[in-house]
Amino acid sequence: MPTKGFWKRKGDEAAGRVTSTKGKKPSSFEQFNASVSDAWGTQDDDLLEREDDGTRNNKLHHQQNQQVGKGESNTINTSKTNVHTELATTTATSTTSTTPPSTMPSNPSTATKKEAVDCEATYISEDVLSTTACDQDPPPSSPKRNTSQASLIVSPRKTPSRNARKGVPTPDSFDPLTRSEGETKSRGELNIGKFEKELNSGNVNLDALKVLSWSGVPSQVRAMVWRLLCGYLPANEKRRQATLERKREEYAELVAQYYDTRLDPENQKTIQQILLDVPRTSPAIETFQQRVVQELLERVLYMWAIRHPASGYVQGINDLCTPFFIVFMEECIDCDFSDCDVSTVAKPLINDIEADCFWCLSRLLDGIQDNYTPGQNGIVEKVEALEDITRRVNGTLVTHLEQYNVAFMQFSFRWINCLLMREMPVACTIRLWDTCLSEPDGFASFHVYICAAFLEMFSQHLLALNDFQDILCALQNLPTSTWSYEEVEVVLAKAFMFKTMFHHAQHHLK
């Protein structure tokens, strides 16, 4: 048994505790992070493993002794002798075997006397095996001793492994975040029942819905949830259908009344920029190259531009419409979006989707409109904040970028202008938007922390580059094409940590 305080080895600092520095405080997030180590080392796990095994065996051994009557003592002694003899012969002749282990009742109190005797003999033989195996030289190919025979003798009583208890996937464990086909689910997929209960409650609690949506929204209800999170639909279920019909009619009237103004000389610059950008929207997805889809995007973007003359249309807003269009289309079709022929969808349905995209895009941009006003002061401020946050959490990276004259504005402007739409697959962006739409102020403040976490994901790769062109090309073409929900949730977790430390605590950034 390990002695008390076994994890405090000589010459090592106490694991999991901040290093004692009298009169000194960590001067940066990096130094504080470096002063904290993991609570358990690998050697500590080995010691705990032995302690758990020994304690479990002793407890079971004691229970079995109580079950066996005094009249069976001779039988037990005989079993012990036979096992010792058999084990010595087996160990001398073979070091491996494929014989399956014997089974044991899950409830020892109901076991028969013979089963109790066998179980006791089994655990006694395990002790003998560990002594015999330790005396032998380990095989050259492995630094550990051969324990293959232990599986033949140790009773297969099902107890979770240390890895399983700590949440580490094991070969026998089931990971609920992975589909049988290997497709990754978001955590929201596991909460579909909670979403349906909330949406069918009659009067949706938007705060509770945001808490659920922060971890991801199931695709089955994402369209309705996004409409609610954007403020497009009311929380009261009885008012939703009437609101939908009214807002869709309003949009149809706007198009009928104002879309022809695109031909006016004063609007030529706006419509020309839209016509240039729409064909570039998500070029990897063939659905966006269909003419009916491009015409839909042209109308949505032009109508938004003339309703917001303070900013007008700015290059990059076209990307922000695509997640809404994909989500609302997937609500209505049975096939994969990338394989959908939108021209076959009923015209009234397409009109409804177009109207929903317009109103949700308007709600989204209302919170970040300063990003698109002349001078784009909102983006400039966010880029500065991103640099300040990165300097605090990873000063080495900022120094490296400065050494090679790489300015944050050169690569992060697009991240903020297009909300990372061009930096990762569309499915990952949609998962990212589940969380951002659940934030109290949407993308206004949390997105900067997402960008900081996103940059941190590639810090080691960037530190290995020693040329301005290489660094900038790497930042503009980050290897995210194979990303799934797992990587996005790591970014979101880091972003939440950064926001917790720095938001509304601006002195940390000075």
CB 152, CB 110: distance < 8 Å: no
pLDDT in tens, 146-199: 333 333 333 333 333 333 333 333 333 333 333 334 445 556 667 899 999 999
Least confident of 83-92, 162-171, 321-330, 492-501: 162-171
Among residues 125, 126, 131, which one has the least CA distance to residue 76? 125
Residue 92: predicted pLDDT: 42
Average pLDDT of the residues in 386-407: 96
**Tokens describing residue 470:** 């290489």
Residue 190: predicted pLDDT: 72
**Which is it for the CA torsion 301, 306, 307, 312, positive or negative?**
positive
Residue 117: predicted pLDDT: 38
Residue 188: predicted pLDDT: 60
What is d(CA 365, CA 40) in angstroms, rounded to the nearest whole number? 47
Q: Which residue has the tokens 């209302």?
A: 366
Say if residue 216's pLDDT is above 90: yes
pLDDT in tens, 352-384: 999 999 999 999 999 999 999 999 999 999 999
Average pLDDT of the residues in 409-438: 96
User: 504 or 10: whose pLDDT is higher?
Assistant: 504
The secondary structure of 378-418 as a DSSP string is HHHHHHHHHHHHHHHH-HHHHHHHHHTT--HHHHHHHHHHT
User: 371 or 19: whose pLDDT is higher?
Assistant: 371
User: 412 or 126: whose pLDDT is higher?
Assistant: 412
Say if residue 64's pLDDT is above 60: no
Average pLDDT of the residues in 14-27: 43
Residue 28: predicted pLDDT: 52
- What is the pLDDT of the chain when averaged over all its residues? 75
Helix H, strand E, coil C: the string for 266-300 is HHHHHHHHHHHHHHHCCCCCHHHHCHHHHHHHHHH
DSSP bridge pairs for 388: none
Residue 207: predicted pLDDT: 96
The pLDDT-based confidence of 83 (bands split at 50, 70, 90) is: very low
Residue-wise burial string across 75-114, b where 16 or more C-beta atoms lie within 10 A, e elsewhere: ebeebbeebeeebeebbeeeeeeeeeeeebeeebeebeee
The pLDDT-based confidence of 262 (bands split at 50, 70, 90) is: very high
Say if residue 138's pLDDT is above 60: no
Average pLDDT of the residues in 462-483: 95
Residue 415: predicted pLDDT: 97
Say if residue 69's pLDDT is above 90: no
**Tokens describing residue 23:** 């009169």
Residue 365: predicted pLDDT: 96
Say if residue 47's pLDDT is above 50: no
Residue 73: predicted pLDDT: 43
Say if residue 270's pLDDT is above 50: yes
Among residues 411, 397, 393, which one has the least CA distance to residue 459? 397
CB 120, CB 172: distance < 8 Å: no
DSSP bridge pairs for 178: 184
Say if residue 130's pLDDT is above 90: no
DSSP code of residue 236 = B
Residue 508: predicted pLDDT: 56
Residue 482: predicted pLDDT: 94
Least confident of 112-121, 154-163, 344-353, 395-404: 154-163
The secondary structure of 103-151 as a DSSP string is P--S-GGG--HHHHHHHHHHHHHHHHHHHHHHHSPPPTT-SSPP-TTHH
User: 389 or 107: whose pLDDT is higher?
Assistant: 389
Say if residue 79's pLDDT is above 80: no
Predicted structure pTM score: 0.65
